[in-house]
Structure 1
């Protein structure tokens, strides 16, 4: 499916430039969700069909990030899934993190300082340079939430390999527009409600078997069982022997909407989406007199940006006192020009 055909499956109001906050659903995802909600309202069906959507989403996500489906766990939020990793690290482990990181990939580590984790925040740009033989974990975002800066993955993974450190990548602001190969990291976590166009409440965790064998599945319930439908009652502990052991019970309706959203992303292709998104972002950057970049997120210091955009009906965000605009599959050059007209108009009184 090409970009133009995919865009016909969305109904955004003009000027939505805030996918970095939340993505918009394609029609197949919206309709699947409405059907499930109606079934729930009327009590017309078993919940098992809703649960099956989780498996479909897991399989599609695995293909999108180039890993075996057996390495993919499902959950609700980034911090919830990272907490399992952070709480399983031995006392005294040194964890290097970007100091400007979104707190969902900071708090799970920082809260473990009370039991002896040595968490060291540093500027994201210096991440690879501060890794030493003492470093046990490098936890970082592939794309920074506030600025859209894309991490130097080659340098970070090389430093981690030399130190023997575990890499934990948050791909929430990357997966869906930036090609992501999760096999490069020991763990990768993704919230699906942004660039993967899904309802809030679905997330994925990819873990390599070597790391997973050291983790305590402290949130395990019946869905983490080898056979969930034979795990309703009683001992013994009988968890799945793959990444499903780290699952939590799915929020059915969120997963019903996630499965078709991911299928659309796969049908269009990440490479095509990447080219489209970055081209729009660079059109916006050029209009503001900025150099071209490599991200679908643009951070710019534009005076009075929030008021100007709001008056023009453009929805973006302000992070760290700077305008943050983000461009995705459903956006067009008209959205870019609408924002530029608002931001570059001469408002000097006559």
Structure 2
């Protein structure tokens, strides 16, 4: 054993990423790791400012995926070896947003996880949504026989009244990076008995979130959680669980007598008593990559990620002569900016004619300066 430890120590001395992984310890362990000690887990080409479109995976996630793909190719592993990552990722997301693991359901997309919530509302129920809301948190309500009202984000709280059954909004808006007035919306909803559904896809991973404050909170994992596309999570508060009909229930939502998961064959209906009754059969390899990515986030700590990301976003805004916005996503109106950035090798996005740039824990000051030099 001593010989193996010495071998690992020698490898770590030449490989900073290996040193970081040894210091963190076993998967799922929560630590307090400085970002400077974790950045070696990424190998981005300079100029990636587009995490709001998709995040870049850390090395442990990529290696886990490569192992699983090799096992699949050779037929070397039973499916439940890969499926174990689903439970590990579920637990990692629960830690990230401060909830119990049993209160988290898994699926592949935000709209997929919201569909049962929308289908459970009585016909004609009023739903209030911001007018710039991403369609994954809008279409599930619109396809039902519901009274959907869209208003400017700043007016959402005022639009909630005694007729409102549910208010749905993104914690951080995809198009603009604006952090929603969560406190105002929650206060209005609670005062009027309305359910609160939040989409944290552009927030979880860089913005500290206490999911217990919402009735339902959904999150696609391929952005700030840096997971493969095809993994998504849904917190369902125990107090509202019985009000939602699991209309997409399948084998993965089942539970055999004695608490064993997954009812394979035949009646009667036997769903898990936890939020797992809303599970949708997972895309295994997406969760194989999601689990180690969440381990990394939890090891570093979302508070540290928040400070790092917002500092870089504010540096970018200051360089353009603009005030800080307090978000890891910035939206600026700069004609021709996308073309100038592309020529400099900087990858960002354009939304509604405005440049959208996003800054995450693998972003450096050099990335920011590269973009500023191209723009100024």
TM-score (norm 1): 0.96
Residue 213 of structure 1 aligns to a residue whose secondary structure is helix
2:132 to 89, 97, 100: 100
Q: Describe how 1:228-243 pairs up with structure 2 within 5 A.
A: 231-243=263-275
**Aligned residue in 1 for 2:16:** none
> Structure 1, residues 118-173: CA drift from partner, whole Å, max 9, x if none?
10000011111111111110100000001000011111100001111000000000
**Aligned residue in 2 for 1:130:** 159
Distance 1:194 1:6 in 2: 18
Distance 2:203 2:262 in 1: 37
Q: Describe how 1:25-174 pairs up with structure 2 within 5 A.
A: 25-112=57-144, 115=145, 117-174=146-203
Residue 140 of structure 1 aligns to a residue whose secondary structure is strand
Distance 2:367 2:269 in 1: 53
**Aligned residue in 1 for 2:324:** 292
> Structure 1, residues 18-76: CA drift from partner, whole Å, max 9, x if none?
00000000000000000000000000111111001000011111111011111100000
**1:16 lines up with 2:45 in the alignment:** no
After TM superposition, the structure 1 stretch with the greater mean CA deviation from structure 2, 63-72 or 257-266, is 63-72
**1:6 lines up with 2:38 in the alignment:** yes
**Aligned residue in 2 for 1:348:** none
Offset at residue 210 of structure 1 (A): 2.3
After superposition, the Cα gap between the structure-2 partners of 1:133 and 1:306, relative to the gap in structure 1 and judged at 3 Å, is same
Asked if the contact 2:261/2:272 (under 8 Å) is kept, the reply is no
Q: Which runs of 5+ in 1 are unaligned?
A: 345-350
Distance 1:169 1:229 in 2: 28
Q: Which runs of 5+ in 2 are unaligned?
A: 1-32
Distance 2:284 2:163 in 1: 42
1:277 to 309, 318, 335: 309
Offset at residue 236 of structure 1 (A): 1.1
Offset at residue 277 of structure 1 (A): 0.0
**Aligned residue in 2 for 1:339:** 371
Q: Describe how 1:135-214 pairs up with structure 2 within 5 A.
A: 135-214=164-243
Distance 1:256 1:281 in 2: 30
Structure 1 runs of 4+ with >3 Å offset: 227-230
1:219 to 220, 226, 248: 248
Residue 8 of structure 1 aligns to a residue whose secondary structure is helix
Residue 104 of structure 1 aligns to a residue whose secondary structure is helix
Name the count of aligned residue pairs. Answer: 341
Distance 1:272 1:25 in 2: 18
Distance 2:298 2:239 in 1: 28
**1:320 lines up with 2:352 in the alignment:** yes
